[in-house]
Amino acid sequence: MFSWIESNSHAIEALVSFVTVVVGCITIVLAPLTWAATRAQAKAAWKQVHADRVAEIFKTLRRFEWFVVHSGKVGPDKDYSEFGNISLKGGKICEEYLDLQEAFYLSRLISEPLFEFMQERMHEADGLQRIKDPEIFQKKLREFHQNWDVYKLAEKMRDLQ
């Protein structure tokens, strides 16, 4: 066997060189394809993360709208604290409002148009606090309820993408 290897050593060296060149060529061809596939995967993953965060923000908007319109905790001359007047009675800020603030901050990380959209929502939400006149409060509450209609919010958020 050793004699065969010795007599065919040039052929074996040529075969090894040939295989090395083939493997090198395959590597050169596959490297850009692998890079492109990896990049496409990363882009798809980013889009999924983006979609998940937007869905999270949408859910937060819906919960806050329900809290404002249906919970009975929001009313004239109140703020978003557990006793309705944190400056006089203390207490903690309602979870729904804290979640809304968190969604607002999160939107900044996602996109500028979404952040601007959320700035408007925060302005509308804050505009309902500490309104002394019950009639003015009811008027603002109706406007809030119309602006925060689930279908309108979904349409606006879809247009941002």
Indicate if the pLDDT at residue 146 is higher than 70.
yes
Structure tokens at 25: 């060529």
- The residue extents of the domains of the chain are 45-160
Query: For the residues 16-40, what does the mean pLDDT come to?
Result: 71
Contact 55, 158 (CB under 8 A): no
Comparison of pLDDT for 20 and 140, the residue scoring more: 140
Over the chain, what is the mean pLDDT? 84
Query: For the residues 2-15, what does the mean pLDDT come to?
Result: 66
| Three-class DSSP labels, 94-131 | CHHHHHHHHHHHHHHHHCHHHHHHHHHHHHHHHCCCCC
Indicate if the pLDDT at residue 37 is higher than 90.
no
Comparison of pLDDT for 107 and 49, the residue scoring more: 107
Contact 54, 47 (CB under 8 A): no
pLDDT in tens, 93-136: 899 999 999 999 999 998 999 999 999 999 999 999 989 999 99
Contact 124, 144 (CB under 8 A): yes
pTM for the whole thing?
A: 0.72
